[in-house]
Amino acid sequence: MHLDGITKRFGSLTANDSITLGLVPGRIHCLLGENGAGKSTLMNILFGLLRADEGTISVGGNVLHLENPKQAMAAGIGMVHQHFMLIPVFTVAENMVLGREPGRFGKLDLNGARKLVRQLSDRYRLDVDPDALVEDLPVGIQQRVEILKALANDARYLIFDEPTAVLTPQEIDELMVVMRTLRDEGRAICFITHKLREVVAVADDITVIRRGKVVGEATPDASEGDLAELMVGRAVNLTVDKAPPTLGKERLVLTDFTVANAAGTIVVDHLNLTVSGGEIVCIAGVQGNGQTELAEALLGTMAVIHGTAILDGVDVTHMPPKKTIEAGLGFVPEDRQRDGFVGDFSIAENLVLNRTTSFSSVGNLDLGRIRSNADERIEEFDIRTSSQSQPVRSLSGGNQQKVVLARELSRPLSLLVANQPTRGVDVGAIEFLHNRIVKERDRDTAVLIVSTELEEVESLADRIAVMYRGRIVGVVEPDTPRDVLGLMMAGVPFEEAARSVEKSRTEHADV
């Protein structure tokens, strides 16, 4: 398949500028580029979601005219989206038949769909229950459903647009295996990711785009540093420079902090933790062990059924979000699309979303200050946009994340709680954001980070608190070996985990 001279403009912005690219059966082609480079735009054109202004897409010399995803699917193109396109209240099998022409397995042929889910699940070892409701499935499994949807259509060209951003390390490994299998069957894969180790692990071909243009190609033996430099056009320091913490007073004190979900199940279980000003505590753990609920309960959107949260001496245990924010909490949610911004509002509006009173005078919004605040934040956080009045919905994913962080980090804070702070963000921006978080720490803010990225935890943490089934298994130093951390994440206390790792090392040394 050839994409030839693809150009796409949004008003004055050229998101794709004459991009030429080949997708070859039996090869994984990684598309790399900084936030806003134009990767998703290009893939949306290939899947018929957007129309190119110029250029052609052809297979075997035949030009395809793709006006919608249905036509793309008919041409053998499948897409696994960055944000899932599934209907949450439907089952897996029901989602499989959605949007399909009756005839292949028509709208009512749920049995056919169920059978196909089972067959494909077995063949690719994807393990999906056809009768499960999509909303009850963890994100990793939802993504498998998207992959199954594409495979049900026997897609020969598969687009994976940042599929690993929301996955746990184990799910990522499993996805890499699936991608290799699909490649070895002779399918062509286009894979977008910001995680360079994944590129190095699976790429056969690598194309880098910057500001809408192809700026280079690389071979899979390129180092992560070389790829980073090619992506952002300068050398990137992938490790965080930070001095040892200077501990201030205890700012956040959690005592027997216990949180229940809507069904009444305890998800954070008698948790005790203190975070001082001037330190970064990272919560490490396999997703789904209560980390997100802990963060949300601190904000005030989940029910605390026992224990207390004290912030700077004030009891914030049962405060609603508006009050906790006024009490000095900065909050970066796990799901930016759902909880981080209002998509139809402009960047400028989103940057002052939770503190309009500070941008008002005599009861009216001070539009001049809102505008100058937006100019400053866009510049500081390098938010790639054509205008501060652009709706946040139409920003690239990574730039949306930068808007959320820019808003939360632009007022004096007592405590910053950030859940997956750099999700979907390019390496250059991660370098900036990590340094910015350390700067926040050095202003005597208490920082609590939840991250499933061990590299992020290791680079940011002054202490690591490992969470398992709603409890803290142990609080350890940031240089704790990964295998010890891994055992702790499975619920093994530190001493036992350290002994077990030591024992297996000695046994291996003896062999």
Ligand X SMILES: Nc1ncnc2c1ncn2[C@@H]1O[C@H](COP(=O)(O)OP(=O)(O)OP(=O)(O)O)[C@@H](O)[C@H]1O
CB of 316 to ligand X, least distance (A): 34
466: which strand partners? 284, 474
Beta-carbon contacts of residue 175 (< 8 Å; ≥ 6 apart):
143, 163, 164, 167
Question: Left, alpha or beta for 54 (phi > 0: left; psi -120 to 50: alpha)?
Answer: beta
CA 61 to centroid of chain Cα atoms: 37
CB of 425 to ligand X, least distance (A): 7
Q: Which 8-state DSSP code applies to residue 134?
A: G
CB of 305 to ligand X, least distance (A): 39
Query: For ligand X, which is the closer residue by CB, 100 or 384?
Result: 384
Tell me if 6 sits within 8 A of 42, measured CB to CB: yes
CB of 384 to ligand X, least distance (A): 5
CB of 391 to ligand X, least distance (A): 8
CB of 220 to ligand X, least distance (A): 21
CB of 483 to ligand X, least distance (A): 32
The Cα-based distances of 350 to 260, 355, 356, 383, 391 in angstroms read 30, 10, 10, 13, 9
Using CB under 6 A, list all residues that contact ligand X: 10, 13, 15, 33, 35-41, 384-385, 394-399
Query: For ligand X, which is the closer residue by CB, 344 or 442?
Result: 344
With tokens 């290791």, the residue in question is: 458
82 CB-side CA count, 13 A? 21
Angle (CA) 362 364 369, round 5°: 100
Per DSSP, the residues of 222-266 read: --HHHHHHHHHSS----S---PPP---SEEEEEEEEEEE-TTS-E
Q: Which 8-state DSSP code applies to residue 27?
A: -
Q: Which 8-state DSSP code applies to residue 391?
A: B
Query: For ligand X, which is the closer residue by CB, 140 or 428?
Result: 428
Query: For ligand X, which is the closer residue by CB, 395 or 472?
Result: 395
Angle (CA) 134 140 143, round 5°: 65
